[in-house]
Chains A and B, each alone.
Chain A
Amino acid sequence: MSGKYKQVAYYPGCALEGTGHAYNRSTRELGKALGLDVVELKNWNCCGAMEVKNVDPKLQTYLSARNLSIAEAMGFDTVMAPCNGCYHNLKKAEYDLSHDAASREVTGRLSRKAGHKTYEAGKVTTIHALDWIKDAIGEDGLRARVKNSLNGLKVANYYGCMYTRPRHIFPEKDKGPGSESTSKPHFMDDLLAAAGAENVEFPLKTACCGGAHTLSDSDTSTKLVLNILTTAEACGADVIATECPTCHTGLEMHQVRAEKVLGRKTSIKILYFTQLLGMALGLSARKVGVQENLSDSSDLLRARGLG
């Protein structure tokens, strides 16, 4: 353990206070179990998700800049966001503020009118919950702490869109050995393997679940999700591990919808990677919020002696 990220600013975002409640709970519990401190950003605001940018992208940059300025004011140089949408938008804001004068101008103007300090690029680094565990604890550190091995549980690791695309907003990725890959991400695979999971070869790691249109174009989303679910099953997985609340909820919702509307039933389970890691560290299923998921994985977990 490197001592890195022993204490980070924490940006849960709106989804983690709503449908992604279980991800919030399991992330906090995982941190506690690993001795990592998370300090929630004071009085944060929504990052704009996938929607505000369609009103105007610079508005979305401002929303993230406000959150980054809070982290800075609290004395942090790192903010950790478990939600892919929040993570992506903070990264995007960081990129735009260092490359685009018009974005800087709008952010400055709105920050002044709103009465807070204007965030300047380079002050705060945004990391994902995956970076957090990977860099603070690492595979060896996890292996040493596993109390209840996932014991060959077959997992398809699903990262979704916003963790890797577009590539230019993630300058630290694709830097060779040890860094994350945008074409074939592996940080979640690495961590779950250290906890005893057997990762299946899954070609749809970064496929889209249709999350942006999960309600506005639900037939399309159902088709996209069904493809992900059936492919994971065909690859021999028992569980899809997720690291984004929108993907996670999308998979769960459209698993039900595919059955009701298209008559296509799939039985694969959907769990946050933080829930799987937490249970491997000996936390109970209840403690990591498995019962708060929209889908029910209790049968599988009981059968595997987890939770």
Chain B
Amino acid sequence: MPIHEKSLIRPENLVTHEHLELDGVDVSGHWSTFITSRAVTDYNEQMQEEIASLPGGEFIHRCWQCGSCTNACTINAINPDFNPRYWIYLIRMGFEDELLRDKDILWQCVSCNRCTYACPRDVNPEGVMKATAHWLELKGHTEKKPSTVFDEAFSEQVFATGKIEDGRVLRQFFARTGQSLFQDWLVQMIRGLVSRLPVGLLMKLGFATLKRPRTRGWADASAAIEEYVEECEANARKALRLDMQGAE
């Protein structure tokens, strides 16, 4: 059995009979464990195409399931359930329900690109992970995950001013995710730094949090970017048929 059919041997799909005879043959006990028969009728036939229409997902069709991505994966090494090869298989087969079982860990891809480096078919698995994470959010299968909240807080600053100030990104992210800024590890780190820094530099850094760094003459670029972002969003909605669903 190919390893990606592991859903078949999940405990709830296995049956062992204490006393069972079939056509005169004793099939009782552990040695005669049965796999419950499966008939899949609810393939999501659009899933692959939809994910392929989002940035990063374009080359998912190239995958031949060698598993180099999962073998190389940083996150798989600390969580075996994080399995890009398996997810690509599920998407290509249209097994949406199986994919949704992992909807709360898929966003954890750290974009280290070890998979992209290893992939012999140029699938760009890192991009596929991002496209799939977006697909889950756009389809309403999950709320916006912390990585998306962070990406948005960061990108909004870049689009508005041309630059970011990392202290502001940090404060915004903690505010938007409802976390306290006064995490004890963060406080300890800042205390250590403050005790060592010369006063002049401290004042300069403090000033930077008041006066936002920005690129001069950015307004036209900012407007052009915002317009393009809207265009991307509209394309994604169309490809995922989101507006049509709303109209039904």
Interface residues of A (CB under 8 A from B): 14-15, 17-19, 21, 43-46, 48-59, 62-63, 66, 106, 109-110, 113-115, 161-162, 164-167, 182, 207-208, 210-213, 215-217, 220-221, 223-224, 252-253, 256-257, 259-261, 291-292, 294-296, 298
Contact = CB atoms under 8 A, between A and B. Distances in A.
B116 A161 contact: no
A147 to B, nearest CB: 25
Interface residues of B, number: 64
A294 B117 contact: no
B224 A114 contact: yes
B110 A220 contact: yes
A85 B147 CA distance: 17
Contacts of A50: 111
Contacts of B218: 45
A212 B163 contact: no
Interface of B: 55-56, 74-75, 78, 108, 110-114, 116-117, 127, 130, 134, 145-152, 154-155, 158, 162-167, 170, 173-174, 177, 184-186, 188-189, 192-193, 196-198, 201, 205, 208, 213, 215-218, 220-221, 223-225, 227-229, 232
B221 A182 contact: no
A51 B112 contact: no
19 contacts: A14-B163, A17-B208, A43-B215, A45-B158, A46-B164, A49-B164, A53-B130, A55-B229, A109-B228, A110-B225, A113-B221, A114-B221, A161-B112, A164-B117, A166-B117, A210-B74, A216-B150, A256-B189, A296-B192
A222 B57 CA distance: 29
B210 to A, nearest CB: 14
Contact of A17 (B213, B215, B229): B213
Contacts of B111: 50, 161, 212
B163 A110 contact: no
A216 B228 contact: no
A210 B134 CA distance: 20
B161 to A, nearest CB: 9
Given A54-B148, A56-B232, A110-B224, 20 more contacts: A14-B165, A17-B213, A18-B166, A45-B158, A48-B155, A54-B151, A56-B229, A58-B55, A59-B225, A113-B227, A161-B113, A166-B117, A167-B117, A210-B110, A213-B108, A215-B173, A220-B75, A291-B197, A292-B197, A294-B189
Given A17-B208, A18-B166, A217 B108 contact: yes
A162 B198 CA distance: 32
Contact of A55 (B112, B151, B189, B201): B151
Given A52-B155, A55-B151, A260 B184 contact: yes
Contacts of A182: 117
A166 B69 CA distance: 13
Contacts of B75: 220
Contacts of A45: 158, 162-163, 215, 218, 221
A208 B110 contact: yes
Nearest to B214: A45
Contacts of B113: 161-162, 165-166
B162 to A, nearest CB: 4
B153 to A, nearest CB: 9
A51 B173 CA distance: 13
A84 B154 CA distance: 18
Contact of A291 (B74, B130, B185, B198): B198
A34 B26 CA distance: 84
Max chain B Cβ within 10 angstroms of own Cβ: one of A17, A49, A166, A291 = A166
Nearest to A116: B221
B162 A46 contact: yes
B117 A291 contact: no
B214 to A, nearest CB: 9
Contact of A165 (B114, B145, B186, B215): B114
A294 B110 contact: no
B228 A56 contact: yes
A45 B225 CA distance: 13
Contacts of B193: 292, 294
B154 A292 contact: no
Given A56-B232, A292-B201, A296-B192, A216 B167 contact: no
Contact of A110 (B116, B127, B221): B221
A48 B158 contact: yes
A57 B134 CA distance: 14
A14 B168 CA distance: 12
